[in-house]
């Protein structure tokens, strides 16, 4: 795949300038089709994070002081600049992540919508007031927290960066963004987008680097009171432990092993479409993938057979090919991890589709969509997040068993329920331990709704007003309206 205008060096963006690391270190960035380096990225460390935080702190008073309407205007200009680069963004994202180009093309639109949405939210958002009869009046003052630390993952990186950037900026925070080291290419577009949109220098700062170095320095920094992280559960646990020293506010969107529960009375064609898309789109590298499919026994064999047939027919190919439905997994290290789970699954369950590299693709991080049937609840492929095009299928006999199996992992991010009995659908939705649930629907998300998980899938909620709550502090002011009658301790009788 040939992409025009690829940078040979990806630098930090600090205080409105592109800069190298303080110590000059870089690390190679590879693309997943040939696994060869195409660029060097600045390897940030504590000194670079210090510089970025200082720039953000310096910019905070002015940015936080402007009106919500003024910030909304800037956010809409960012959205315009993102949309103007949609072709280039899609090409960068496909080249760097291995996502199919047809799926990458939607990322610019979704990223722009994040900015437009939060521009609307911050203008329309009111504050609360309370009256205690005629004696006292209380009102809420909402203020931005300060410098936000944003740490983003390597799957759909640009869109997920926008998901955090937009509410942080709308709220009046300045910020330091640490993109994922495996996929920094699309983040290299932010400096020109922000400059074109008129974002003041220092409001947004970007430090590239390895998580254990740049990310850790951001988490540890005493002048960053807030950390928003999307990534693995293990890393999230580590960030929360590290954040405890400075009592930082954290939002953790972590791993998932989401169930798709299919009852015999469901529209099986619609359920099948949703299951196939839900676990194999984005190369299966999505936290909300329905990677455990629980099927009621009367239709279990039929549904499993049809799922295997569809998986075998999914078009795996070069990410730049518009016909490709599953591209190359993001990085050799992750590819080996997914392949290891496939080998584990072959010992734990019945392989009915995939399980190996497609014959027509001799090189690159490719895996034919893989389906395991008759998976037991204690199997590793049932319990552990694989984050690739691999799905585990298991039968159930009763509604209670379906709920028990759905809840039988440490995760609780998303769940999908397929049934024509809406009373049952609601019962299941209320009983399944997940932060987000869909009944007779695939992962269609309204930006106004809370996003996040329970159990080991995360801490906190973002989305809509929940995001504004996260990036702001609410202070309450109480005012006496009438005579004050306070007990007079210590006064002479």
The residue behind tokens 């609780």 is 412
d(CA 144, CA 188): 27
Q: Which of 31, 161, 213, 253 is catalytic?
A: 253
Measure CA 332 to chain center.
Answer: 21
Structure tokens at 352: 């009915």
Distance (Å) of CA 59 to CA 65, 174, 313, 350: 10, 7, 53, 58
287, 318, 348, 462: the catalytic one is: 287
The strand ranges marked E within 145-194 are 147-151, 174-178
Q: Which residues contact 34 (CB under 8 A, 6 or more apart)?
A: 363, 364
Q: Which residue has the tokens 């949703």?
A: 274
Residues with Cβ < 8 Å from 430, sequence gap 6 or more?
none
* Known catalytic residue at 173: no
CB neighbours of residue 432 within 10 Å: 21
Q: Is the four-CA dihedral 404, 406, 408, 414 of positive or negative sign?
A: negative
Q: How far, in Å, CA of 325 to CA of 319, rounded? A: 8
Q: Among 458, 448, 457, which Cα is nearest to 250's?
A: 458
* Cα gap 80→72, rounded to integer Å: 12
As a whole number of angstroms, the distance between CA 283 and CA 330 comes to 9
List residues with catalytic annotation: 253, 287
């Amino acid at each position: 795949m040939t992409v025009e205008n690829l940078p040979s060096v990806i630098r930090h963006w600090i205080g409105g300038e592109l800069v190298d690391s303080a110590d000059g270190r870089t690390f190679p960035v590879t693309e997943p089709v040939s696994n060869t380096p195409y660029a060097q990225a600045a390897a940030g460390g504590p000194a670079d994070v210090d510089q970025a935080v200082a720039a953000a702190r310096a910019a905070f008073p002015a940015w936080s002081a402007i009106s919500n309407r003024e910030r909304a205007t800037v956010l809409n200009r960012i959205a315009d600049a993102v949309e103007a680069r949609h072709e280039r963004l899609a090409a960068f994202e496909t080249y760097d992540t291995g996502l199919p180009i047809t799926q990458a093309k939607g990322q610019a639109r979704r990223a722009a919508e994040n900015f437009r949405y939060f521009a609307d939210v911050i203008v329309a958002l009111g504050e609360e007031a309370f009256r205690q009869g005629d004696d006292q009046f209380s009102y809420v003052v909402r203020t931005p927290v300060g410098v936000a630390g944003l740490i983003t993952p390597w799957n759909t990186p640009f869109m997920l960066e926008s998901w955090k950037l937009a509410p942080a900026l709308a709220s009046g925070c300045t910020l330091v963004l640490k993109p994922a080291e495996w996929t920094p290419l699309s983040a290299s577009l932010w400096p020109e987008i922000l400059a074109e949109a008129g974002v003041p220098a220092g409001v947004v700062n970007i430090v590239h680097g390895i998580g254990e170095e740049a990310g850790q320095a951001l988490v540890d920094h005493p002048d960053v009171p807030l950390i928003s992280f999307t990534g693995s559960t293990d890393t999230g646990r580590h960030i929360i432990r590290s954040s405890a020293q400075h009592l930082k506010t954290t939002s953790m969107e972590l791993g998932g092993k989401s169930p798709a529960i299919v009852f015999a009375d469901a529209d099986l064609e619609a359920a099948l479409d949703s299951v196939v898309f839900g676990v194999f789109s984005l190369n299966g590298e999505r936290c909300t993938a329905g990677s455990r499919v629980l099927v009621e026994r009367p239709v279990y064999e039929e549904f499993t057979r049809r799922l295997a047939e569809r998986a075998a027919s999914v078009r795996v190919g070069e990410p730049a090919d518009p016909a490709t439905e599953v591209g190359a997994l993001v990085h050799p290290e992750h590819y080996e991890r997914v392949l290891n789970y496939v080998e584990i699954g072959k010992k734990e369950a019945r392989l009915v589709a995939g399980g190996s590299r497609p014959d027509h693709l001799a090189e690159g991080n490719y895996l034919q969509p893989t389906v395991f049937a008759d998976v037991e609840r204690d199997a590793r492929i049932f319990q552990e997040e694989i984050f690739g095009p691999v799905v585990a299928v298991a039968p159930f006999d009763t509604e209670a068993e379906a709920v028990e199996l759905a809840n039988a992992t440490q995760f609780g991010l998303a769940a999908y329920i397929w049934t024509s009995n809406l009373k049952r659908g609601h019962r299941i939705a209320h009983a399944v331990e997940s932060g987000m649930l869909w009944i007779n629907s695939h992962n269609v998300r309204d930006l106004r709704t809370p996003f996040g998980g329970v159990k080991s899938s995360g801490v906190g909620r973002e989305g809509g007003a929940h995001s504004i709550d996260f990036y702001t502090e609410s202070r309450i002011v109480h005012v006496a309206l009438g005579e004050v009658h306070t007990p007079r301790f210590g006064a002479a009788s």
